Amino acid sequence: MPFRFTNIATTVLSLIATSLGVTFLLFLISRPHPTSAQEAGRSHEVAKTNDKAKLVARGKYIVEGVAGCGYCHTPRDRDGNPDRSKWLAGAPVFYEPARPVPGWPNSAPRLAGLPPGTDAEIIRLLTTSVARSGQPPRWPMPRFYMTRTDAEAVVAYLKSIDLSQR
């Protein structure tokens, strides 16, 4: 029987497919599998910790990058920049409106560690722009209409800020 190149190509492709299949099976076999309920619980805790870390990171992105909370809720240094050592610790409102605005606040509340209100109240404020009073927040607080997931991420980030390191 004459030797043909199509047989070589078919043979090579078969060998590659077989070796990939064996590699995949070895990968599946070598993966650690929980052997007890305790190990399964640990992997669940790790997944939960990873989910919380992702939530906090998302909240940090929103607070520091999108919403700019630190501009009003963080005291200023001598140069007028937000003082990162007192991040979101509450601060005097450093500007006034051009015309008088009734109820204009003198200070912005602390957000770091324990935001002013329950989680549900903060989430409601960030998703509907309705404060604990049932009214929109006082100016200069922006009106936010975040998704519930984003609002929960913001709350998770604010609660993750460690006040004891200051």
pLDDT in tens, 73-99: 999 999 999 999 999 999 999 888 999
CA gap 55, 161 in Å, rounded: 13
Mind listing the domains of the chain with CATH numbers? 52-165 (1.10.760.10)
Token pair 């006040």 is found at: 163
Mean pLDDT throughout 30-57? Answer: 70
Using a pLDDT cut of 90, give the percent of the chain over it. Answer: 58
Q: What is the pTM of this model?
A: 0.69
Confidence of residue 163 (pLDDT cuts 50, 70, 90): confident
Residue 23, CA distances (Å) to 11, 16, 26, 34 in order: 18, 10, 5, 22
Average pLDDT of every residue of the chain: 84
Query: Any idea what DSSP says for residue 83?
Result: -
User: Residues near 107 by Cβ (< 8 Å), separated by ≥ 6?
Assistant: 90, 91, 92, 93
CB neighbourhood size of 26 (10 A): 10
Contact call for residues 43 and 34 (beta carbons, < 8 A): yes
Is the Cβ–Cβ distance between 134 and 117 less than 8 Å?
Answer: no
